[in-house]
Amino acid sequence: MEICHLYISPGHNFVGHHGREPDTHPAIEVPMIECVAGRGIRGDRYFDFKDDYKGQITFFSLEVFDELCSRLELHDCSPALVRRNVMTRDVDLNELIDEDFEIQGVHFHGTQECRPCYWMDQAIAPDAEEFLKGRGGLRARMLTSGKLHSSARILAGAG
């Protein structure tokens, strides 16, 4: 599995905003994230969110993102729009549900699909939610602590 991009966000744009406008916290691309076992990603909105939270970290497939952009005829879209932490290549994330796995020395347990919601149609484009059903990514718990590094070249000051 290749880690292509890593994102954190300081706050929730959609969670808790039903019936209201979303917030505007950016998804910030970073070259490295610090995973803290049982707690989440240091600096992310879900760090210490709830005890034993199923979505301490989220994964999303860049192959699925590319398909989404092609199907909906989207151009110049950032994968940050899906608001997942880890963008991957070369792995079927659904196969990791209910499985333990390791990336770059950090151990995780895949808990469930990171199901898309109606906000996807607003954040990305109409019909995004429907397209992403069954391939919205993976939620996981952190079993060990460590650091994940991205293969992306991030320009200083970008984000």
**Among 43-52, 59-68, 93-102, which is the least confidently predicted range?**
43-52
**Which backbone phi and psi does 97 adopt, to 5 degrees?**
-65, 130
Average pLDDT over residues 126-133: 92
Coil vs helix vs strand at 63: helix
Q: Residue 159 — very low, low, confident or very high, per pLDDT cuts 50/70/90?
A: very low
Considering only residues 49 and 98, tell me which one the structure prediction assigns the higher pLDDT. 98
Q: Can you name the CATH fold of 2-10+25-149?
A: M1 Pyruvate Kinase; Domain 3 (2.40.33)
pLDDT tens for 3-16 read 999 999 885 555 55
What does the mean pLDDT of the chain come to? 88
pLDDT tens for 73-96 read 999 888 988 889 999 999 999 999
Considering only residues 98 and 9, tell me which one the structure prediction assigns the higher pLDDT. 98
pLDDT at 124 over 90: no
Q: Count of CB atoms within 10 A of residue 8's CB? A: 21
Q: What confidence score (pLDDT) does residue 17 get?
A: 45
pLDDT at 111 over 50: yes
Nearest to 72 by CA among 134, 118, 120: 120
pTM of the model: 0.88
Amino acid present at 129: E
